[in-house]
Amino acid sequence: MAGKLAGKVAIVTASTDGIGFAIARRLAQDGAKVMVSSRKQNNVDNAVKALKQENLNVEGLVCHVAKKEDRSKLFNETVKKFGGIDVLVSNAASSTYFGPTLNTPEDSYDKMFDLNVKSSFMLCKEVVPEMEKRGSGSMILVSSIAAYTPMSMIGIYSLTKTALLGLNKVLAPELAAHNIRINCIAPGIIKTKFSNALTQNEDALNVALSTIPLGRLGTPEECSGAASFLASDDSAYMTGETIVVSGGMTGRL
Ligand code: NAP
């Protein structure tokens, strides 16, 4: 398929729904071969079926990003099916506690850091040898506007997203030595299952909308163009940066 990602192979984690699904679809529409994944086989099957019906070049498999053996399988199967790996989009995250930050249970804190930060780091670290074989690569971390301005009631989740901005900065110079770039996307409030709790409560929604200059929530598709740009050679001279996709919500540390 022609397109700015023609010839590239991309992995997108947590890509059977929401932002990850929209990114997987967009990368494939722009010509990449894409490996779709998430924890549940039936979600993988449905996502792959939907994308194949659009004549997109995708395969899928189960990968819980916190499981080392799942990550290995994800890389091995992608290489087996598509011949290598050029692009990694680390998109999986969870928010396991809602309430005052000081009341966050220790196991929730650990789970969020394990999934949102450690798994992203492990994916980046473990994919390097495959990108080195291709001579270059592009990694994209999905952070959040909450990385810049922590959201009340999801304080530790916000902190994990700030940590990803740090990870981006820490890894950029080291990866550059391998001709691999890394950048972040920081979505604002995007209509997905993840943001349902906020968007289904009218009062909370109105408060949120009052902070968004464009006056509306974003869609997963509106995050996908930024991912395609960062995956492509159009961003060849960008590394260690973050693109904020937030309808104007302030992104600044
Ligand atoms: P979503 O619509 O709820 O989609 C979640 C996806 O993640 C599903 O495909 C799910 O499939 C998969 N998943 C969940 N846990 C996983 C795990 N441990 N390993 C692999 N896959 C997993 O979520 P979303 O809103 O698109 O969020 C995607 C990313 O954007 C997250 O990093 C989130 O922090 C970030 N973000 C979202 C918003 C927003 O407003 N929505 C704003 C800023 C940033 P399975 O159930 O099959 O695993």
Distances (CA, A) of 115 to 27, 65, 184, 186, 223: 24, 7, 17, 17, 21
Q: How many Cβ atoms are within 10 Å of 45's Cβ, its own excluded?
A: 14
pLDDT at 121 over 70: yes
pLDDT, one tens digit per residue, over 4-54 is 999 999 999 999 999 999 999 999 999 999 999 999 999 999 999 999 999
Cβ atoms of 144 and 218 within 8 Å: the answer is: no
pLDDT at 166 over 90: yes
CA of 218 to the centre of ligand 1 (A): 15
For the CA of 21, the nearest atom of ligand 1: 9
For the CA of 19, the nearest atom of ligand 1: 26
By three-state DSSP, how is residue 94 classified?
coil
Average pLDDT value for residue range 223-234: 98
CA of 19 to the centre of ligand 1 (A): 7
Ligand 1 pocket: which of 25, 35, 39 to mutate (most atoms <8 Å of CB)? Answer: 39
Task: State the catalytic residues.
Answer: 157
Structure pTM?
0.98
| Beta-strand pair 242-245/9-12 | unpaired
User: What residues have CB less than 8 Å from 245, skipping those under 6 apart?
Assistant: 185, 186, 187, 188, 218, 222, 223, 226
Q: Exposed, middle or buried: residue 245 (CB in 10 Å: 0-12, 13-18, 19+)?
A: buried
Query: What is 9-245's CATH topology?
Result: Rossmann fold (3.40.50)
Average pLDDT value for residue range 140-163: 97
CA of 130 to the centre of ligand 1 (A): 25
For the CA of 190, the nearest atom of ligand 1: 40
Ligand 1 atom 41: residue of nearest CA: 190
Ligand 1 pocket: which of 36, 38, 164 to mutate (most atoms <8 Å of CB)? Answer: 38
By three-state DSSP, how is residue 34 classified?
strand
For the CA of 47, the nearest atom of ligand 1: 9
What pLDDT sits at residue 183? Answer: 99
Residue spans of the domains in the chain: they are 9-245
- Residue 253 — pLDDT band, cuts 50, 70, 90? confident
What are the helix (H) ranges across 114-246? 119-134, 155-176, 196-199, 202-209, 221-231
Query: Which residues have CB under 6 Å of ligand 1?
Result: 13-14, 16-20, 38-40, 43, 63-66, 91-94, 115, 142, 144, 187, 189-190, 192-195
Ligand 1 atom 23: residue of nearest CA: 194
What gap in Å lies between CA 134 and CA 12, rounded to an integer?
18
208-230 core/surface letters (b: 16 or more CB in 10 A; e: else): beeebeeeebbebebbbebbbbb
CA of 140 to the centre of ligand 1 (A): 15
- Residue 152 — pLDDT band, cuts 50, 70, 90? confident
CA of 16 to the centre of ligand 1 (A): 9
In the numeric block, which tokens belong to residue 128? 């390097």
CA of 194 to the centre of ligand 1 (A): 6
